[in-house]
Structure 1
Amino acid sequence: MIVKKVETKAELDQAYTVRTIVFVQEQNVPVDLEIDEHDETAIHFIGLLNGEAIAASRLRFVDDYGKLERICILKEHRGKSYGKKLIAKMEEVIKEEGYSKAKLNAQTHAEDFYRKLGYMTISDEFIDAGIPHVTMIKELS
């Protein structure tokens, strides 16, 4: 899988399609919560496999952190280390932008995945869009 920053409207549409499949269709997140006001200013990423978008995410800068958001992989492509590649690219961009800390709100079922990538849980469990989450941070070296 190749991970790249979204540069065109077509690529952004592909990212939204992946997010809609994963979050709206699969996880029943209301579309008005999934696509929000932050999408206009965020840096978007897509993961391409044989030219097809199979992963998506977005990155925003909030306070002292690069905030990783909307990280998703199409169901049939999970468990193949694509999420790890997506996170690595996002962390690379965070460092390029002069930040040294990353933050994300992880769905609790994915907490171990992020922990293995060096993220540490810093919050109690909370509900976002009807799904249990925790906040996690990582110092980037």
Structure 2
Amino acid sequence: MVRARRRAGGFFRDFREFALKGNVVDLAIAVIIGTAFGKIVSSFVEDVVMPFINPLVSVAGKDWRTITIGPGIAIGKFLGSIVDFIIIALVLFVVIQALQKFKRQEEVAADLPLDANLVAQERLTGALDRLTQTLESRNTQV
């Protein structure tokens, strides 16, 4: 009985550590935001984009998203999902490009030449640290 409790306690402790890791929480937030973003894009496509496109591609006076082939093969709905995906991919591409451009600007700003006094101080500090480590290692060897 005691072993079973320890195993269960260890299992729950391990699960809690796993579930509360930053990566898992970040992934959960990304999924939730992605779902909401998908709904926004679907609404944008259905309510804003498609009213302009439907008259151009309508078949026999009905919405192209309602086109079915044979018994229940909803080809129009499938094509609508492809349009949604393309728009989501395009928006993500634009956002990622903007973030990469912003990162490049930060890197360029970080690559600017530093103050000569600051560089000299950093070199001196590094040299003193290495000297201290060398002296400490010699004192422990003697």
Q: Return the TM-score normalized by structure 2.
A: 0.21
Structure of larger gyration radius: 2
Q: Return the TM-score normalized by structure 1.
A: 0.21
More helix by share: 2
Higher relative contact order (CA 8 A, sep 6+): 1
